[in-house]
Amino acid sequence: MKTKTKRNIRSLSLEDLRLFFTENKDQAFRGDQVYQWLWKKGIHNFKGMTNLSKSTRSLLETNFVINHFDIFHQQKSNDGTIKNVLKLYDNLVVESVLIPTENRTTACVSSQVGCSLDCKFCATAQIRRMRNLNADEIFDQVVAMDQQSRLYFDRPLSNIVFMGMGEPLMNYKNMINAIDKITQGAGLGMSPSRITVSTSGIPKMIKKMADDQVGFGLAVSLHSARQNIREKLMPFAEKFPLNDLADAIKYWFDKTAKAVTYEYVVWKGINDDDDDINSLVDFCKISPCKVNLIEYNPIGNDQFIQAEKDRIKAYEIALQDHRITVTLRRSRGKDIDAACGQLANKSERTQVVLP
């Protein structure tokens, strides 16, 4: 006799849950109760749904599963940063990072197992994309890091950045679904203004976000405002030229009135001359923006070396002279390969599936 395949209950909407109960001769509000357990309280087993009868919990056990990950390995940096290696329900692995500062704690979440893109300077890009993360897997990263923030730093999670493994705009539906659960009152109730989605620059999807009137912030991993240089750093950029990206960013601001943040690493002999600086200044004039000059985090590729301090300072001065907000960002968690671009840098690169 064929065994019935159980559905992941968190793939159901609230309306789906209500319908399930009415179809099983129960009341629709049971769906609301279950929804609250799943998304507000973040519970991972049916037995813990204590306001449901045993027969109702048994009905759920018969029809559904609650997929969730195990924290397979955890490392803590000298600066307090915590890296989590997460074993998913199907034995695939992703990483997430909790970044503490004096006044806040930020969850850096992943959106894919591996990555869809091919940035040469990023360790995650060296792993092929194995699959997109489901909305509940993204949500669970936030719940886990909120718990860690309360445990280790005595305060709730304050911010979320989609800057972990994967390109979030290549997993748009699940990303948006997860953010809805994180921000809605029936979920975690976090303000969307505390969330930033970082993309390598997919123009069509940036425009879609603008049309969808999302409440979160946008960051673009730019690294060069010269098309030929950007293609060498990020070969996929050949399909998404800077002109199209510029149009999308203009569209984003016109629709949302939100300034974009450009993430920018300066490498020696690659994007550190005056033409590179002037091109970035010109690109920044497209719409209101700010620039984060980010410290480079090595991944074992000798082609990429942090630029000299005087060249980074030249970027800073030029941007300030044109009244463009610029911040120098120091990396956190470098000693445990948890900094930007380092996720899956060492053993996890080859150990993507755990026994």
**DSSP-derived 3-state class of residue 335:** helix
DSSP 196-222: EEEES--HHHHHHHHHTT-SSEEEEE-
Separation of alpha carbons 213 and 186, rounded Å:
20
Let me know if 95 is a catalytic residue.
yes
Decide: 192 and 216 in contact? Cβ < 8 Å.
yes
Let me know if 115 is a catalytic residue.
no
- Which residue among 95, 137, 167, 316 is the active-site one? 95
Point out which residues pair with 306 in neighbouring strands.
267
- Per the structure block, which two tokens stand in for 300? 């074992």
What residues contact 319, with CB distance under 8 A and at least 6 apart? 280, 281, 284, 291, 325, 326
What residues contact 334, with CB distance under 8 A and at least 6 apart? 77, 297, 342
Separation of alpha carbons 124 and 118, rounded Å:
9
Other residues' Cβ atoms within 10 Å of the Cβ of residue 275: 11
Pick from 224, 110, 252: nearest CA to 171: 110
Torsion of CA 130, 174, 220, 104, to 10 degrees: -110
DSSP 153-193: HSS---EEEE-SSS-GGGGHHHHHHHHHHHHSTTTT---GG
92 φ, ψ (degrees, to nearest 5): -75, 165
- Which residue among 108, 115, 340, 348 is the active-site one? 340
Alpha helices in 14-74 (DSSP H): 14-23, 29-39, 54-63
**149 burial level (CB within 10 Å; 0-12, 13-18, 19+):** buried
Would you name the residues annotated as active-site residues? 95, 340
